[in-house]
Amino acid sequence: MVISTQNLTFNFGNQKVVNSLSLQVPQGSIYGFLGPNGAGKTTTIKLLLNLLKTDEGSISVFEKDLKSNRIEILSKIGSLIEQPAIYLHLTGRENLVNRAGLLQLSIRRVDEMLELVQLKQAANKKAGQYSLGMKQRLGIALALLSDPELLILDEPTNGLDPNGIIEIRELLINLTRQHGKTVFISSHLLSEIERMATHVGIINNGTMLFQGSIAELEALNQALLLIEVDNTVDAANLLKRHQYEVAQVTETLVGLPYHSKQQSGEVNTLLVNNGFRVYSIGKQQQDLETLFLSITKQA
Amino acid sequence: MKAFLLSLRSEFFKTRKTLAFWCAILLPLLICMLMTIGFLTNAEKMASWPGELLWIRFVGNVLNVMGVLLLPMFTVFTAYSINNIEHRADTWKMLFTLPLPKFTVYSAKYVYALLLIFISLALFVLFTIGFANLLSVIKPGLRFNEYHMEFTLMQIYFKLFLSALGILSLQFLFSLLWKDFLKPMGIGFVGTISGIIMASAGWKYAYLFPYSHPMLALTNMLPRTKTPTQSRQLVINILTDDVYVSLAVAVVVFFAGYFILLKRSIK
């Protein structure tokens, strides 16, 4: 595990912002850390970076205790927290040069990063004049500058246009698949990260509601066989008499839990043989977003 | 040590195009230049003066402007702007996620502010000497070249530097803790005014109040004399009580600031 926390707890005054959180982020994964606004995502990230003092519980990163190995661990992490931390009176390039100087990296790396996030044209423009998306890309360049093993990104696609989001997504996938890096990325939109995340943690009110691989999340998500038929109530009764479980009945549709193609065919035949007109029949997956909402609402 | 020097270099890199840095250079240049222009326009009146008196007038005038009000306010401003660079860009969190010891980041910032004040005061010495000599070249009637007080000048400004350190530490801490402009600047301004009042009223415990140290340093050093001959006994005693208090406050508040920083959450 690259990040692993045990019963991590943090209070702001009397309010428990993070409540005995146990994160498990495997090596090489893109871990999507999801939750609505105010769920405790940024606070958790600040705890992971030792910006906030842990009230209870422990954090280990790269199998080492964060408190006692702070510098060693931080040297392998690149991070972007909330708004990117950029000196607005310096140019984009100067921001990177400053960081490279502090971390003793070569200037060549600065140009590589500018190229990577496509800020070469605007490199000598003051960062204060950058658009939100450009600032965000500069923030990502700063996070990637030291070629870190672990990237911790807090809502990095804020303010990016769809193209920018796709580029970042591809960059992150490439970093993990080709270079074995690990990415911990927070978002309040599942749709934004479901296409790249390998693992997901869903948090609300400081508590972890779900943690596991994308496949495990999908498994929670049962598909329905939706049948459009002329008389839905009679059709549902017929199906029930034949030991089928009916999940929903509306004026136009009957829904059964989906099991297999075989079963879909049998249901169709049964209905048609009993004189029903079947207009359409098909499998429908509940989208993950709905699932995400239903998970966060349960809490 | 290497991390400290890198941090210090980074502080310079960040501020080299800002007023915080240029103020340290322009302030002595401007004041010394204006004083020189003043002397040039009044050159006839002073043509008969001996070199020593000319020097004391020139140095004294610059010190009166600088030492009393400007040095404390300049210190307040420097402490503010060094910290404000991070507040403004919301970069504290970035600084403290770098793989550098927190104490290094903190102390490099402090030392950089200290260096700016040192540089500014060193430039005062340099420009005073430079412009005084320039005056004697432009107007040979002004016989600055007949007297030398370079070493004394250095001692005076060194003492001023030490006397400003208490203020620096306090203001550095205020500016570190508060994001806004008004709180640290307001406290600095009120402190400076109270300091001037305490010192000029001759209150006997004024030496315990850091904001009155620059003024105390000057009044103790340059006793107001009625005749020019008396001023020959210009006694420079660098380590006086007020300087000790200033240094003690500086050291204590510097470390206290670090522990406060450790306890605080970084936003």
Cβ of A77 within 8 Å of Cβ of B97? The answer is yes
Whether residues A147 and A231 fall in one domain: no
Whether residues A72 and A149 fall in one domain: yes
Cβ of A71 within 8 Å of Cβ of B90? The answer is no
Task: Say which CATH number the domain at A57 has.
Answer: 3.40.50.300
Whether residues A100 and A146 fall in one domain: yes
Task: State how far the Cα of B114 lies from the Cα of B122, in Å rounded to an integer.
Answer: 12
Domain that holds residue A246: 224-292
Q: 3-state class of B2 per DSSP?
A: helix
- For residue B229, name the pLDDT band (cuts at 50, 70, 90): low
DSSP-assigned letter for residue B100: S
Q: Would you state the pLDDT for residue B232?
A: 52
Q: Does residue A298 form part of some domain?
A: no
Whether residues A189 and A137 fall in one domain: yes
pLDDT in tens, B108-144: 999 999 999 999 999 999 999 999 888 888 888 788 8
pLDDT in tens, B32-52: 999 999 988 888 888 788 888
Q: Which residues of A touch B (CB under 8 A)?
A: 46, 49-53, 71-72, 74-75, 77, 79, 81-83, 85-90, 94, 97-99, 101-104, 142
Task: Say which CATH number the domain at A275 has.
Answer: 3.30.70
Q: Does residue A297 form part of some domain?
A: no
Whether residues A181 and A247 fall in one domain: no
Residue B227 near chain A (CB below 8 Å): no
Whether residues A92 and A122 fall in one domain: yes
Whether residues A258 and A192 fall in one domain: no
Q: Does residue A77 form part of some domain?
A: yes
Whether residues A138 and A246 fall in one domain: no
Whether residues A74 and A123 fall in one domain: yes
**Last residue in a domain, options A180, A195, A219:** A219
Q: Would you state the pLDDT for residue A163?
A: 84
Interval A197-221 mean pLDDT: 86
Q: Would you state the pLDDT for residue B7?
A: 94
Q: Is residue B59 within 8 Å of B126, Cβ to Cβ?
A: no
Q: What are phi and psi of A17, to 5 degrees?
A: -85, -35
**Last residue in a domain, options A219, A254, A276:** A219
DSSP-assigned letter for residue B231: G
* Count of the separate structural domains present in chain A: 2
Query: What is the pLDDT of chain A when averaged over all its residues?
Result: 88
Q: Which residues contact B62 (CB under 8 A, 6 or more apart)?
A: B31, B32, B35, B124, B128
Residue B223 confidence (pLDDT) above 70: no
